[in-house]
């Protein structure tokens, strides 16, 4: 499945000087270093259970602490050259960012509802309102994704040097929206151009310390793979998209530079497809069990509530608590189970296969990399949390 080219050294493939004099000694191939992830399912299972239960007890407020704890663990299990990554974000930053985003989004939602009520009998006005609402939502989603990425980059450190992201979230949003329109009018054929342009903007505004990454990918290099995907979308029920995205990721990685370093990935379509299939199978199993429990308990609970309606105060105090505790226990079980499935069956294995597929070629004087001087955002990814978009 891996059709990426091998690392090329200066002068030609594998560092061999092309056209060198007979008998010349080929240059040594660049050193290749692996990125490794060694997270354990047991550790993540405990995080998933505690995040689910504490999230229920706090009516969802604990999600910011849970997300911070999960990221802290995942980052700390990624190793490069014998040193671990660190995540320095805090739950307080995420909570403040979320509250600020709600304060901005609430008037927009209120205005949309008010316009809908005033012009509910005017189909033309309602259509215009829906179109404007769709445009605003699409733009805000892209803006949220970029701002969330900036936050994660500035909270990621390796050997004490933190990452960074420059560029404008608003420019990214307008750029993404413009290219999405092009994709729409070309019936999807311009999708590789959209993906490559957005990857270029993200990568060329990504920093580690005082140096930025470079990207020289071209949409024409992946268009053929996308055209096959476009043709076979319906016959494969969309599953071929996984094949395309894995190839795209490998290609984007191979066209990324950082100083003297080059990158490669041997991620396979089979491993990613297997994770997705197992994830959806596990989700279906959890929902099936939940549906079975609900179906089996509903008659009993319904009868219990009917009995309580005609019972005296003492009976209600004695039995109502038991009935509600059963309902709460079932809901808690489903929530915790879904959280465990997401982390153990999707996040953990996907993090593992992607990280372990990465290889870095070349040598860099890491000690010479200075700390980033970019300003760090003071709050977390509020829009991404409010709109439920972006990475975990």
pTM above 0.75, yes or no: yes
User: What pLDDT shows up at residue 223?
Assistant: 97
Nearest CA among 158, 157, 110, 100 for reference residue 133: 110
Q: How far from 172 is each of 36, 178, 191, 200, 252, CA to CA, in Å?
A: 31, 10, 16, 11, 18
User: What pLDDT shows up at residue 10?
Assistant: 41
Total residues found in the chain within this entry: 392
Q: Render 230-273 in DSSP notation, one character per residue.
A: HHHTTTTTTTHHHHHHHHHHHHHHHTEEETTEEEEE---HHHHH
Nearest CA among 164, 163, 147 for reference residue 80: 163
Token pair for 365 = 């004087």
Q: Which of 67-71, 129-133, 271-275 has the lowest mean pLDDT?
A: 129-133
Contact of 346 with 54, CB cutoff 8 Å: no
Q: What does the pLDDT look like over 177-205, one tens digit per residue?
A: 999 999 999 999 999 999 999 999 999 99
Q: What average pLDDT does range 90-107 have in this prediction? A: 85
- For residues 250 and 383, the model is more confident at 250
User: What pLDDT shows up at residue 12?
Assistant: 44
Q: How far from 155 is each of 88, 161, 208, CA to CA, in Å?
A: 5, 10, 11
Q: What average pLDDT does range 366-375 have in this prediction? A: 88
User: What pLDDT shows up at residue 2?
Assistant: 46
User: What pLDDT shows up at residue 373?
Assistant: 82
pLDDT-derived band at 299 (thresholds 50, 70, 90) equals low
- For residues 286 and 186, the model is more confident at 186
Q: Reply yes or no on whether the pLDDT at 34 is more than 90.
A: yes
Q: Which of 80-84, 232-236, 325-329 has the lowest mean pLDDT?
A: 325-329
Q: What average pLDDT does range 210-233 have in this prediction? A: 97
Three-state DSSP at 308 gives helix
pLDDT-derived band at 133 (thresholds 50, 70, 90) equals confident
Q: What average pLDDT does range 136-164 have in this prediction? A: 91
Q: Reply yes or no on whether the pLDDT at 53 is more than 60.
A: yes
Q: What does the pLDDT look like over 70-82, one tens digit per residue?
A: 999 999 999 999 9
- Return d(Cα 13, Cα 98) in angstroms, integer: 49
């Amino acid at each position: 499945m891996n059709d990426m080219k091998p690392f090329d050294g200066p002068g030609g493939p594998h560092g061999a000087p092309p056209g060198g004099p007979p008998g010349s000694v080929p240059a040594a191939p660049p050193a290749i270093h692996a990125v490794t992830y060694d997270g354990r399912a047991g550790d993540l299972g405990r995080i998933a259970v505690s995040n689910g239960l504490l999230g229920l007890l706090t009516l969802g407020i604990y999600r910011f602490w849970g997300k911070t704890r999960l990221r802290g663990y995942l980052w700390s299990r990624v190793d490069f050259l014998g040193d671990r990554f660190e995540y320095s974000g805090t739950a307080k930053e995420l909570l403040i960012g979320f509250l600020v985003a709600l304060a901005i989004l609430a008037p927009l939602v209120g205005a949309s509802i008010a316009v809908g009520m005033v012009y509910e009998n005017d189909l033309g006005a309602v259509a215009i309102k829906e179109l404007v609402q769709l445009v605003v939502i699409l733009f805000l989603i892209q803006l949220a994704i970029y701002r969330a990425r900036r936050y994660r980059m500035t909270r990621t450190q390796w050997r004490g040097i933190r990452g960074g992201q420059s560029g404008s979230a608003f420019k990214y949003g307008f750029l993404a929206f413009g290219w999405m329109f092009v994709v729409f009018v070309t019936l999807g054929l311009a999708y590789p151009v959209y993906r490559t342009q957005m990857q270029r903007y993200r990568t060329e505004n990504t920093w580690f310390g005082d140096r930025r990454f470079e990207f020289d990918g071209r949409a024409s290099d992946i268009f053929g793979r996308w055209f096959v995907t476009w043709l076979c979308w319906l016959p494969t029920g969309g599953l071929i998209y996984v094949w395309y995205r894995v190839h795209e990721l490998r290609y984007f990685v191979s066209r990324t530079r950082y100083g003297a370093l080059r990158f490669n990935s041997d991620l396979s379509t089979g491993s990613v497809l297997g994770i997705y299939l197992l994830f959806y199978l596990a989700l279906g199993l959890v929902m099936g069990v939940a549906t079975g429990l609900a179906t089996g308990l509903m008659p009993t609970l319904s009868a219990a509530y009917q009995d309580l309606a005609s019972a005296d105060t003492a009976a209600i105090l004695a039995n109502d608590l038991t009935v509600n505790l059963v309902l709460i226990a079932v809901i808690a079980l489903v929530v915790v189970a879904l959280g465990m499935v997401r982390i153990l069956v999707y996040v953990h294995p996907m993090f593992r296969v992607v990280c372990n597929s990465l290889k870095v070629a070349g040598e860099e004087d890491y000690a010479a990399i200075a700390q980033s001087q970019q300003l760090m955002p003071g709050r977390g990814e509020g829009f991404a949390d409010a709109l439920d978009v972006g990475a975990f």
